[in-house]
Amino acid sequence: MINETAKYIEHLENSRFYEAHEAFEHRWRYEVNPQLKLLLKGLINASVAFEIKRRMVGDYSKPWDAFLKARTKFESLNQEYRFLEEAFKTAEKTALNIGFSIT
């Protein structure tokens, strides 16, 4: 999981949003833990929203809202999922850099 997280972060930092999405896609698809699945879905949806905005191909609010929901859930969880903290921070930083509201 740490490897996927590092890839996700690297892709976001280099504006490779589709690739960031792919970093967690396989893990998300087969994840059985519902809390971890929600967090991964949120991170995936952040990168989807960024890609939609960049391509100007539609409304990115639905995937962005999924990220915000996952972020709220992440903030309420214990230390078990802290390995995703840097991924959430990087998604927030990317969002601010391209004009998203993170509130």
Give 48-89 pLDDT, tens digit per residue. 999 999 998 888 999 999 999 999 999 888 788 889 999 999
- How far apart are the C-alpha atoms of 99 and 27, rounded to whole Å? 29
pLDDT at 20: 96
Asked if 41 and 70 touch (Cβ cutoff 8 Å), the reply is yes
Distance CA 73, CA 19 (A): 24
- Neighbour count for residue 41 (Cβ, 10 Å): 18
Query: Tokens 């059985």 label which residue?
Result: 32
- Walk me through the domains of the chain, giving residue ranges and CATH numbers: 2-97 (1.10.3450)
CA distance 19 to 22: 5
Q: What is the mean pLDDT of the chain?
A: 93
* Confidence band of 2 (pLDDT split at 50, 70, 90): confident
pLDDT reported for residue 1 = 73
Whether 24 contacts 6, CB under 8 Å: no
Note the pTM of the prediction, 2 decimals.
0.92
